[in-house]
Amino acid sequence: MDKDQAFKVLAQQLEISNKKAKELIDKGLVYVGNYKVKIARGLVDVETKFRVEEINEVKIIFEDDDIIAVDKPAFVDSYDIQDSIEGATLIHRLDRDTSGVLLLAKNEAFLNRAIEAFKQRKVTKKYIAWVDGIFYEEETIDEPISTQKKGKAVSRIDKKHGKRAVSIVRPLEVQGKKSKVEVEIETGRTHQIRVHLSHIGYPIIGDELYGSFTRSKRILLHASSIALLGYSFTAREPKDIARYK
């Protein structure tokens, strides 16, 4: 049985460059059946049939002289969106797997005002997530978080060295042994929602890093709304968030 590196087999199958094939795998878009291909250089049978997930378009929700609000699809890097919009700078960022409202500033004066609003916690951010387990009662999680950023960022509850982090979790829906929740965050630590939900025993579906054993095409987290400096924006839930399975 002949074998070759996954990205080379994919490149031949799709008739694309090796570089493009490797990028698709690195972005988590390539599957064999229901299993994500995680290692681009891993050896696979040359007859392996791959499936590549399609990425939704980036949609502009609102734009004026100061701000651009976009509906970011899953599997797209926030910095790639910044690079695609001339003269725009990210005000905040979302993880690659996370969909939803993403804000960019169009001038330095507004960027500085927005950054100050974040520092003073004058920003309201709400997310929707599907989690493992039956969640039925509102809960406020006030647990400090520290982040190690050597390579991929990894965060954890750290009562001694962590920075304060507050998340308010509200139940929305239950399907079997999975729950849909709304999470409002009062702080913005790296992976805050993921760490907090895992800490209370409800890891986000697809979030293997923080304890989910349920397979999913992505981490099922969506930035549903954000309000700051007199602006308020919402992003519709994509299909995988609107209804689980």
Q: Residue 117 class from Cβ within 10 Å (0-12 exposed, 13-18 middle, 19+ buried)?
A: middle
| CATH of segment(s) 3-52 | 3.10.290.10
- Output the DSSP codes for 194-245: HHHHHHTT-PBTT-GGGT--S--SS--EEEEEEEETTEEEE-PPPHHHHS--
Per 3-state DSSP, the chain is made up of helix, strand and coil in percentages (nearest 5) of 20, 35, 45
Q: Give the SS3 label for residue 164.
A: coil
Per CATH, which fold does 59-242 belong to?
Pseudouridine synthase (3.30.2350)
The residues spanned by each domain of the chain are 3-52, 59-242
**Using CA atoms, how far apart are residues 190 and 156, in angstroms rounded to an integer?**
10
In degrees, rounded to 5, the angle at the alpha carbon of residue 155 between the alpha carbons of residues 129 and 153 is 95
Neighbours of 86 (CB within 10 A): 6
Per-position pLDDT tens, the chain of length 245: 687 888 888 888 888 888 888 888 887 788 887 778 888 888 888 888 888 877 778 899 999 999 999 999 998 899 999 998 999 999 999 998 999 999 999 999 999 999 999 999 999 999 999 999 999 999 999 999 999 987 788 999 999 999 999 999 999 999 999 999 999 998 889 999 999 999 999 999 999 999 999 988 899 999 999 999 999 999 999 999 998 77
Q: Give the SS3 label for residue 168.
A: strand
Q: Which residues contact 70 (CB under 8 A, 6 or more apart)?
A: 58, 59, 60, 61, 81, 101, 102, 103, 104
CB 127 within 8 A of CB 182: yes
* pLDDT for the residue numbered 53: 78
CB 50 within 8 A of CB 10: yes
Residue 79 parent element (H or E)? helix 78-84
Rg of the Cα atoms in the chain: 19
Catalytic residue among 4, 65, 83, 95: 95
* pLDDT for the residue numbered 127: 98
* pLDDT for the residue numbered 1: 66
- What's the farthest any 2 CA atoms get from each other in the chain? 62
Catalytic site residue 95? yes
Backbone angles phi, psi at 199, to 5 degrees: -60, -35
Q: Which residues contact 31 (CB under 8 A, 6 or more apart)?
A: 37, 50, 51, 52, 53, 217
